[in-house]
Amino acid sequence: MSAALTWIWKALGDLIDGPLRSLQKHIGAHRMAYVFLAPNLIIFGLFSFWPMLLNFYIAFTGGQSVILAERPLIGVENFRELLACPSYLDPRTCPVAGYSFWTGLWNTLFFALVQVPIMVVVALVTALILNRNIRGRGFWRAVYFYPVMLSPVVVAVIWDWILKRRGILNALLDDMVSGWNDLARSGVWFEIGLGLILLLPLLPVTRALLARIASPHRLRLSHGLAVGLAILLSTWLARSGGLVLPDYRPVNWLIDQRAGWPMFWVIFVYTWGHLGFYMLILLAGLQAIPRDLYEAAEMDGTSRFRSFWRITLPLLMPTMVVVLVLSLIRAFQVFDEVYVLTGGGPGQATKMIIQHIYESAFIGDAKRYGIAAASSVLVAGLLMVLTLVQLLVTRRRAGG
């Protein structure tokens, strides 16, 4: 069987070899690289560059048809409708399309400004820990990277089960409160346990209070005073009912806007789902730093913090720039997790700019492809500006 497969592969190679040799004679060996790159370039152009050009053209057209011939050119009217706001800081002053656009844009900007620093810091700390020689290092690396392999929709559905009103989180918190209250009402054993807990911080306090007493029995006095105070405090706290918590009322984590929980959980779930990707990039950057530098710093008596500040961070800066740019771009593209978790609600508190583009083009009877395309062009321009500013700032800091 292996001999037959070898013969087949050889025959296919001979079949391709003739035309390629003939083509090489006509165009030259130095141009053959473009021949091998041509399939990838064609596919990339067909599915990337062509949709970008098509989207840019649709941004200057009107109508509801998807056929280009049936879409009249209207110039910058779509952009004018999106930007026709007395105050961009207050989307309520905008028309319908502008209100949806600016609401989504401000929510996305807030999301990116909060989530990107959190993502970078947590990914860096995780990479630093997993770069050390700890037990089960390979297992923990796989654990942190595993959510990246899941679909964003699957991640959102899992966390929706956890966060809904009758979900796992509310049930767990209810059980914890009920268990604590049962323990607080359990009587003398709770008082003894609480007294032992209070005794630990009271020992140094009483010893300090009796530090000026010139007595050989000072140590025994401080221990006796600490035990007495612990008994009195534990008895008073347990019998006064001050440690009994009120009954837990389930929270609508994805609906309760008063405390800002929906946006908090959107940021948390998105960070949890994508952390492993950036952690792996930073881990590769950490492993590329020569160990000789740390050994030399250790011989000079340099502290770990100073080694991190003077060696790790400067040498890791190129990788950090990559992580910052990628995380910023992906933060502006957030859609799946938010749409499954909150649907952009409550109201439009978590509605992102990609959701606005999606709903403008595909939701409802009036398909406004021009508004959706114009919105994506404006977001792309803003993203390019933010990326350039980020690159300039990080390069200046790295050079300085």
Q: Report how far residue 372's alpha carbon sits from residue 363's, in angstroms, rounded to the nearest whole number.
A: 11
CA 44 to chain CA mean position, Å: 28
- DSSP symbol at 48: I
- The per-residue pLDDT for 385 is 87
CA 232 to chain CA mean position, Å: 48
- The per-residue pLDDT for 238 is 55
- Average pLDDT taken over every residue of the chain: 81
Task: Classify 343 in phi/psi space as left (phi over 0), alpha (psi -120 to 50) or beta.
Answer: left
204 cis-preceded (ω within 30 degrees of 0): no
pLDDT band at 231 (very low <50, low <70, confident <90, very high): low
Q: Report how far residue 228's alpha carbon sits from residue 394's, in angstroms, rounded to the nearest whole number.
A: 59
pLDDT band at 200 (very low <50, low <70, confident <90, very high): low
pLDDT band at 206 (very low <50, low <70, confident <90, very high): low
What CATH number belongs to 77-169+257-399? 1.10.3720.10
- The per-residue pLDDT for 271 is 95
User: Using one digit for the tens of pLDDT, what is the confidence trace for 6-64?
Assistant: 777 776 766 776 777 777 777 877 787 888 888 888 998 888 889 899 999 999 998 88
Give residues with Cβ within 8 angstroms of 176, minimum separation 6: none
Give the whole-number percent of the chain exceeding pLDDT 90.
Answer: 30
Q: Which of 322, 316, 338, 307 is nearest to 277 (CA)?
A: 322
For residue 134, pLDDT over 80 is answered with yes
Domain ranges of the chain: 2-49, 77-169+257-399, 186-240
For residue 232, pLDDT over 70 is answered with no
pTM for this model (two decimals): 0.80
- The per-residue pLDDT for 114 is 95
User: Using one digit for the tens of pLDDT, what is the confidence trace for 323-355?
Assistant: 988 998 899 999 999 999 999 888 889 999 999
